[in-house]
Chains A and B, each alone.
Chain A
């Protein structure tokens, strides 16, 4: 997979194999924390360690705004995936490409971060596991998810380099 920035218009991942394309398609699903308390707690963390009144106000007033903001980012990414993740040559082993309009870069960074945080919470990865390079062989679901987190992080890094 290669990454290009085309002026100030869009960034592009090219030479994506079908397996990676499927992982990329799963970003919105991976970012969904609704059925997992730990993941929800991480996305909507408390602004205080000892002020119960502030924490309660935050839950009531700020968290709904953040939820809307996060869902909006994921919706944008869903739309871009439907429109811009394309198979260019079926005979190629790396046939997919993905174009990301740079005006949607913040939505992508948010959705990728949501996905990484939700997956890390859902599977309770340790700091050591998250610090490892991705495993060379994907023998278990856990290793696959760790790989997924790594790939999304790699995409985040590249999108950051493409920002003006």
Chain B
């Protein structure tokens, strides 16, 4: 009985796709004002939210700036790379 329950639970977990995070990493070359501007443009953040994430990148070394489906996550990373930010996607 216990084995059956475990198998069902595993199947259910696998069937639900975990979302993807877009992570921006710290880079000592990119300027704070530039990173803030890019967050506003690419992610549609207002200035306050953009600065909060920029400071998180600066102080913690990384910030999750978007979470959702893989295709859109890849598109956002491509846009961020177009602005020369260090960005990756990873499973939540």
Contact = CB atoms under 8 A, between A and B. Distances in A.
A43 B37 CA distance: 19
Interface string A88-125: 00000000000000000000011001101100100000
Contacts of B90: 48-50
Contact of A48 (B31, B37, B88): B88
B88 A156 contact: no
Interface residues of B, number: 19
A157 B31 contact: yes
A163 B78 contact: no
A163 B90 CA distance: 33
B29 interface: yes
A7 interface: no
Contacts of A74: none
User: Which of A46, A113, A117, A127 has the most CB atoms of chain B within a 10 A radius of its CB?
Assistant: A113
A127 B88 contact: no
A66 B82 contact: yes
A113 B74 CA distance: 22
A116 B27 CA distance: 12
Nearest to B30: A113
Interface in A59-93: 62, 65-66, 69
Contacts, number: 58
B89 A47 contact: yes
Given A43-B84, A114-B84, A62 B33 contact: no
B54 interface: no
A49 B88 contact: yes
Contacts of B34: 109, 113, 156, 160
Contacts of B31: 153, 156-157
B88 A46 contact: yes
Contact of A157 (B33, B74, B81, B86): B33
A45 interface: yes
A149 interface: yes
A117 B34 CA distance: 13
A14 to B, nearest CB: 22
Interface string A129-164: 011000000000000000001000100110010010
Contact of A130 (B28, B37, B74, B84): B28
A134 to B, nearest CB: 14
A131 B28 contact: yes
